[in-house]
Copies of this chain bind each other. A is one copy, B any other.
Amino acid sequence: MVWVTGFYTLAETEKTIEGRLSGLEIDFTSQAAIANLYRAANSVRKYFSNTVLRSNDLSWTGFVVLWVVWIWPGIEVRHAAEEAGISKSTLSGVVRTMEGRSLMRRRIDPVDRRLVHLELTDEGDRMMVDLFPRFNGEEAFAVSPLNAKKVQELTRSLKAIVAHLEANMPESTGD
C-alpha cells in the first residue's frame, strides 16, 4: 500500500515500518506481497470503473454479477453469489438494482419454489455483447507490462493463494 505509489516513497515507508517495529520479527516479503495484492486489486477496480464501466454506468460488482448471469443463464442465486465472490445478501441488493434498470430478471423455480433463477433481459444481453469485448481489451491492457509467461505465472500464484485460503477459511455461519 504505502510503499507502492503513494505520497511517501518506498524507502521512506520501509524505514519507518522497521523503526516502528524494531524488536518485532516481521516478514517484510510477505507483507509486500499482500499489500501489493490489495493495492493492485484496488487499482484494477478503479481503472475499470473509470473507463469501460463508466460508459455503461456500471459498478465493478454490478458488471461481475451481470457477467456471471450472462455466461450461466438461469443460474441460481447462491451459485451466482459464489461465482461473483460476494455474499448472497449483497447479491440480492445488486439484483434489485439490475432489475430496476431492466438488465436482469428473477425467475422462481416452478418445481422447487425456494429456488430463484437469474437471467438477463434482452437489453442486458445486448449490453454484455457490446461491453465484454471492450472489457477484455482493458484486461489485456492492464497486464500489458508483463509478458505472456509472467502473466501465466501471476495467475498460477494467485490461484495457489486462493486455493490455500479457501481451504483454511473458518466457516462463516450464514449470509
Contacts and interface: CB of A to CB of B under 8 A. Distances in A.
Given A2-B71, A83-B1, A158-B37, A164 B151 contact: no
Interface string A53-66: 00000000000100
Nearest to A71: B16
A132 B158 CA distance: 23
A172 B50 contact: yes
B1 A155 contact: no
Please tell me how many copies of the chain the complex holds. Answer: 2
16 contacts: A1-B68, A1-B83, A5-B162, A16-B71, A27-B136, A30-B136, A33-B139, A34-B139, A36-B159, A38-B44, A43-B162, A44-B161, A46-B165, A142-B161, A143-B161, A150-B153
Nearest to A36: B158
A139 B79 CA distance: 28
Contacts of A174: none
Interface residues of A, number: 82
Given A33-B155, A36-B158, 12 more contacts: A1-B67, A6-B82, A7-B79, A8-B79, A16-B72, A24-B132, A29-B148, A39-B85, A47-B165, A143-B161, A145-B161, A154-B158
